[in-house]
Structure formats: structure tokens, C-alpha cells
């Protein structure tokens, strides 16, 4: 949805989620959900050859 370095918003399967990452993310970048802590997702960028689990917009 917008760039962020540590916490921001992502869209996963059409739903908007608050997310946390250790790696800066950009709009449209593919991400992988690594954990769910209540309503907060832990995410990381997908490797170029990695199967998409979610997308960040």
C-alpha cells in the first residue's frame, strides 16, 4: 500500500493487515508471511524465485 521500513500496511488475499518487517518494503513487492501475532503479520520479502504467499501493495 505504501513503502515502510519496520511497520506498515500490506494486502494479503484482498484484506488489509498491519505488518512488521526487518527489511524495507516497497508497494507491489511480493512478501512472505512468516508469523501472525494477533492482528499483526510478520513478513519478509520473497526471493525472486520464491512462490508468492502474499502481496504487498
How confident is the model over 1-56, as pLDDT tens digits? 689 999 999 999 999 999 999 999 999 899 999 999 999 999 999 986 545 555 55
Check residue 2 and give its pLDDT: 82
23 phi/psi in degrees, rounded to 5: -120, 130
Check residue 55 and give its pLDDT: 56
Q: Could you tell me the pTM of the whole model? A: 0.75
Check residue 47 and give its pLDDT: 80
Check residue 53 and give its pLDDT: 57
Amino acid at each position: 500500500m505504501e513503502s515502510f521500513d519496520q511497520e506498515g500496511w500490506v494486502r494479503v488475499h484482498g484484506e488489509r493487515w498491519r505488518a512488521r518487517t526487518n527489511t524495507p518494503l516497497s508497494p507491489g513487492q511480493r512478501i512472505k508471511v512468516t508469523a501472525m501475532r494477533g492482528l499483526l503479520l510478520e513478513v519478509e520479502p520473497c526471493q525472486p524465485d520464491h512462490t508468492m504467499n502474499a502481496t504487498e501493495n
